[in-house]
Structure 1
Amino acid sequence: MTEHRISTPFTQEKAAALRAGDRVLLSGVIYTARDAAHKRLCECLERGEPLPIDVRDAVIYYAGPTPARPGQVIGSCGPTTSGRMDAYAPTLLRLGLRGMIGKGARNQAVAQAMQETGAVYFAAIGGAGALAAACVKEAELVCYEDLGSEAIRRLVVEDMPLTVVLDSLGNDLYRDGPEAYRNQR
């Protein structure tokens, strides 16, 4: 396992250097989007409309931040279960989405699309929304305001702690990690 400091844009070259189990401190622009926003993005594409964000070499954080308290940039913003985006992720990956942040395993279609496109899936610490919020230096509503906390937001993060769970070669920490742990004992 290696530690990396990475800044966005998250290019294919940066993604190719990461392996499942690596620790990453991510800085730069990322977007929040959950399942309702993903559904709308894919509906835009079905209608032949441009997306409201450029997903090329972007990172999407599966989070729905709570409102910011006075003096804060953002409220708590812990990761949500990534499987809820599995129906939509391959479409966005094929448009150049390079990174996804969430919690929990991904399905085979997502893993396959990641290998085909050179993308990476990161896990954020579940239950630590305040820790994630402390990494956010700027937050701006981009679109789908009617979705409330599930609207798409543009965040500027600094040293957001993540772990590579699925790398661009198909290595899966959720699948392979338990066996490696048992072998170390």
Structure 2
Amino acid sequence: MSVKEISLPFNEDQLSDLRSGDRVLLTGSLFTARDAAHRRMFETLEAGGDLPISITGQTIYYVGPTPSKPGQVIGSAGPTTSGRMDKYAPKLIELGLKGMIGKGRRQQAVKDAMQKHKAVYFAAVGGAAALIAKSIKKAEVIAYHDLGSEAIYHLEVERFPVIVINDIYGSDLYEEGEERFRIES
């Protein structure tokens, strides 16, 4: 299977070319946000405020990086469980978010929003935090500094390895894998 190289932020052509199961290397700009940042963004929107970042066409990586050691851009940066952001994801997708990176399954409401508004969900390999960190070339906290590792970071990444789990067509790699296992066993 070949590996697709994608430049971030996304454009519509890139999204339409991705299918569940595709291996992808991402290069460009993305944001981080975990539970606390998502909650705060959602509360801000509910209160009629603006998000601290423009998410149109952007990707959010569900990660709480550890502090960097001397000479490093960032510490370990492995994915966190995406399901904790499912409550907030459909609204962010509706507002223009095009990519999410994490680990684990997504709820049907999130998958429906991805299909309706053309967004994708990638898995990063859990347990490979140190390896993933090598793909991060720049990291800067840009919002919610008080949240520590759950603040929103702006990252510049180079050849960041991910796998498409949910594409814009409604496919789900986890479900496909389970089905193949049932057929083969």
- On whether the aligned pair clears a TM of 0.5, the verdict is yes
Q: Which amino acid aligns with 1:109?
A: A
Write the mapping of 1:136-155 to structure 2, written as runs, cut at 5 A: 136-155=136-155
2: CA distance, partners of 1:24 / 1:181: 24
1:61 aligns with 61
Runs of 4+ in 1 over 3 A off after TM superposition: 181-185
Matching of residues 1-185 of structure 1 within 5 Å: 2-181=2-181, 183=183
Deviation at 1:145, TM superposition (A): 0.9
TM-score scaled by length of structure 1:
0.96
SS at match of 1:148: helix
8 Å Cα contact 1:141-1:154 kept in structure 2 = yes
Q: What secondary structure, in the 3-state scheme, does the structure 2 residue paired with 1:51 have?
A: coil
> Unaligned regions of 5+ residues in structure 1, if any?
none
Deviations 1:132-160 (A, max 9, x none): 10000000001111111000000000001
Offset at residue 184 of structure 1 (A): 6.0
Report the CA distance shift for 1:162/1:153 in structure 2 as closer, same or farther (over 3 A). Answer: same
d(CA) in 1 for partners of 2:120, 2:7 = 14
Secondary structure of the residue that 2:134 maps to in structure 1? Answer: helix
Q: What displacement does 1:50 show?
A: 1.2
How much does 1:2 deviate? 4.6
Look up the SS of the partner of 1:149 in the other structure.
helix
The C-alpha deviation readout for 1:52-104, integer Å capped at 9, x for no partner, is 11100000000000000011000001000000000000000000000000000
TM-score by length of 2: 0.96
Length, aligned pairs only: 185
Most deviating of 40-49 and 17-26: 40-49
What is the identity, as a one-letter code, of the residue corresponding to 1:107? Q
1:130 shift after superposition: 0.4
Q: Secondary structure at the match of 2:91?
A: helix
CA distance in 1, matches of 2:70, 2:2: 38
Cα distance between partner residues in 2 of 1:7 and 1:182:
36
CA distance in 2, matches of 1:59, 1:149: 18
Deviations 1:32-68 (A, max 9, x none): 1001100111111111111111100000000000000
The amino acid across from 1:85 in the alignment is M
C-alpha displacement of 1:119: 0.4
